[in-house]
């Protein structure tokens, strides 16, 4: 076990997403030594990941090296590595390479990944979107589908390659379906000689009664109208109960589709299970009001991995909640160091935005609800503002302005030759 204590309390933060990064920054002036451990070397601006998956932005537009973000925070270091074990008795975390790191405070923010409700065999046919690698895989499948359709000699085969489905009508599913329709109807126009990309069918499949269920019903209806205007077929009320390489089964009907994307389920990081705590059905860790693990005031869980009720409703797994939790944990640790007891965490809900596609979005700001072009500009401004780093904002804006006026998507690059 590495000993780097020197008497200064050691804080280990697992995961460099919104929760982990905000926790790290919140400890900048505390008399602690922070080690941020992540499997990846970058912080990812997850709300725009669908743009990488749909070839609108490139990876560096929405990601920045954690080391670079934290280079001026003298009490923080970044460790590239995968935490595989947590030993709460000995107060150490174990990395995949065998290293053990000791802690006085531990903050676990390893987030969530896609869940297939027990149908793990669907994963290979219907990839989900959580990491840059997921985004590249999806981008590749979308672009290759049109290439296969162009080369197809049988009409049925061509149709199956031009049939796309997104399972799950939450914000990610809506974004993906809306953008895919834009690609088919506008971006690829004139580029093929044997197919008309605009003939592609893009279907959004939601098992529940309406899309964007976390929004008021009027905005769900507005979202569905906007999706249909963009050329997306919306199906609600029937669950997908089978996915193969050839297509998916919707209730009793089999729909041929060579490209199916998954935006329906979320499962917590497996690291939650190695904590001495109760997890909910999705694997999230049930935390105290101060986000600590019951019986372990030195262990905190923040972000998508935390399960917490507030006013009878669960705190949602969204970026603002993760940032607030991260900042709160830093505050709680500072209080504890001073021998004080932090007051309970309160999630402040500033509103809810979802984008749908070109000039289409819905906004719900504590009762002030609107949709369409104005909502889209509002969404755009908010997301560019929150993107980390000055350079990114400028380049992302240029890319978007370019894409907006030309319908082009500059990142339509398939890196490796198709197998």
> Binding a copy of itself by CB under 8 A: which of 79, 229, 296, 334?
79
Query: Closest CB to a copy of itself among 140 and 323?
Result: 140
Binding residues among 169-188 for a copy of itself as defined by CB under 8 A: 188
DSSP states of 259-317: EEEE-S-EEE-GGGGGSSS-B-TTSPEE--TTSEETTEEEEEE-GGGEE-EETTEEPPS
Strands 92-95 and 100-102 come out as antiparallel
Q: Which of 113, 236, 286, 408 binds a copy of itself (CB under 8 A)?
A: 408
Q: How far is the CB of 118 from a copy of itself (least distance, A)?
A: 26
Binding of a copy of itself by 60 (CB under 8 A): yes
Question: Applying CB under 8 A, does 68 fall inside the site for a copy of itself?
Answer: yes
d(CA 50, CA 61) in angstroms, rounded, equals 12
Collect all residues with Cβ–Cβ distance below 8 Å to 278 and sequence separation of at least 6.
Answer: 285, 286, 294
CB of residue 60 vs a copy of itself: minimum separation in angstroms? 4
Query: Given candidates 99, 236, 244, 286, which one binds a copy of itself under the rule CB under 8 A?
Result: 99
252 assigned to active site: no
- Considering only 24-32, 297-305, 340-348, 396-404, which stretch makes contact with a copy of itself by CB under 8 A? 396-404
Whichever of 381 and 401 has its CB closer to a copy of itself, that residue is 401
Place of tokens 């402040």: 348
Report the residue number, 23 or 76, with the smaller CB distance to a copy of itself.
76
Residue among 5, 343, 391, 404 that touches a copy of itself (CB under 8 A):
391
Q: How many CA atoms does the CB half-sphere of 326 hold within 13 Å?
A: 30
CA distance 380 to 373: 10
**Smallest gap, in angstroms, from Cβ of residue 378 to a copy of itself?**
25
CB–CB of 93/37 below 8 Å?
Answer: yes
Q: How far is the CB of 27 from a copy of itself (least distance, A)?
A: 15
Near a copy of itself by CB under 8 A: residue from 104, 147, 233, 298: 147
* Options 82, 100, 159, 175, the catalytic residue: 175
Q: Which is nearer to a copy of itself, 254 or 404 (CB)?
A: 404
Residues 6+ apart with CB under 8 A from 311: none
Q: Identify the residue among 39, 229, 334, 369 touching a copy of itself (CB under 8 A).
A: 39
Going by C-alpha positions, the residue among 139, 82, 37 that lies closest to residue 415 is 139
344 or 397: CB nearest a copy of itself: 397
Query: Are the C-beta atoms of 96 and 84 separated by less than 8 Å?
Result: yes
Nearest to 283 by CA among 293, 294, 268: 268
Asked if 41 touches a copy of itself (CB under 8 A), the answer is yes
CA–CA distance, 238 with 407 (Å, rounded to integer):
33
> What is the C-alpha to C-alpha distance for residues 135 and 78, in angstroms, rounded to an integer?
25
**Interacting residue ranges for a copy of itself, rule: CB under 8 A:** 2, 39-42, 58-61, 63-65, 67-68, 71-72, 77-82, 97, 99, 132-133, 136, 143-144, 147, 150-151, 153, 188, 190-194, 391-392, 394-395, 398-399, 402, 408, 410-418
Active site residues: 175
């Amino acid at each position: 076990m590495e000993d780097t204590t020197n008497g200064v309390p050691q804080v280990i933060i697992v995961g460099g997403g919104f929760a982990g990064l905000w926790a790290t920054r919140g400890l900048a002036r505390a008399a602690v030594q922070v080690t941020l451990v992540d499997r990846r070397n970058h912080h990812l601006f997850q709300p725009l990941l669908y743009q990488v998956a749909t070839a609108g932005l490139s990876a560096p537009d929405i990601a920045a090296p954690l080391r670079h973000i934290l280079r001026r925070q003298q009490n923080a270091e970044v460790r590239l590595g995968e935490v595989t074990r947590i030993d709460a008795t000995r107060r150490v975390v174990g990395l995949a390479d065998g290293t053990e790191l000791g802690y006085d405070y531990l903050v676990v923010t390893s987030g969530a990944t896609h869940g297939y409700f027990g149908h793990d065999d669907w994963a290979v046919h219907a990839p989900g979107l959580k990491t840059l690698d997921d985004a590249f895989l999806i981008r590749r499948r979308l672009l290759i589908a049109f290439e296969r359709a162009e080369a197809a000699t049988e009409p049925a085969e061509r149709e199956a390659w031009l049939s796309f489905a997104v399972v799950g009508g939450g914000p990610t599913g809506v974004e993906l379906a809306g953008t895919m329709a834009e690609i088919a109807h506008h971006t690829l126009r004139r580029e093929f000689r044997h197919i008309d990309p605009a003939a592609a069918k893009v279907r959004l499949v939601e098992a529940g009664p309406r899309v964007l269920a976390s929004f008021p019903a009027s905005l769900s209806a507005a979202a569905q109208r906007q999706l249909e205007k963009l050329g997306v077929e919306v199906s609600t009320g029937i669950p997908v109960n089978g996915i193969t390489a050839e297509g998916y089964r919707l209730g009793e009907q089999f729909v041929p589709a060579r490209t199916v994307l998954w935006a329906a389920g979320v499962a917590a990081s497996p690291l939650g299970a190695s904590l001495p705590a109760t997890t909910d059905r999705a694997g999230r860790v049930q935390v105290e009001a101060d986000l600590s693990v019951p019986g372990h005031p030195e262990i905190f869980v923040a972000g998508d991995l935390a399960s917490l009720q507030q006013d009878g409703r669960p705190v949602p797994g969204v970026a603002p909640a993760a940032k607030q939790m991260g900042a709160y944990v830093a505050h709680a640790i500072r209080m504890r160091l001073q021998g004080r007891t932090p007051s309970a965490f309160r999630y402040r809900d500033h509103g809810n935005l979802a984008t749908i596609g070109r000039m289409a979005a819905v906004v719900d700001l504590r009762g002030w609800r609107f949709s369409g072009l104005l909502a889209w500009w509002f969404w755009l401004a908010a997301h560019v503002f929150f993107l980390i780093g000055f350079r990114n904002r400028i380049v992302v804006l240029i890319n978007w302005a370019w894409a907006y006026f030309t319908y082009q998507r500059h990142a339509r690059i398939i890196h490796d030759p198709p197998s």
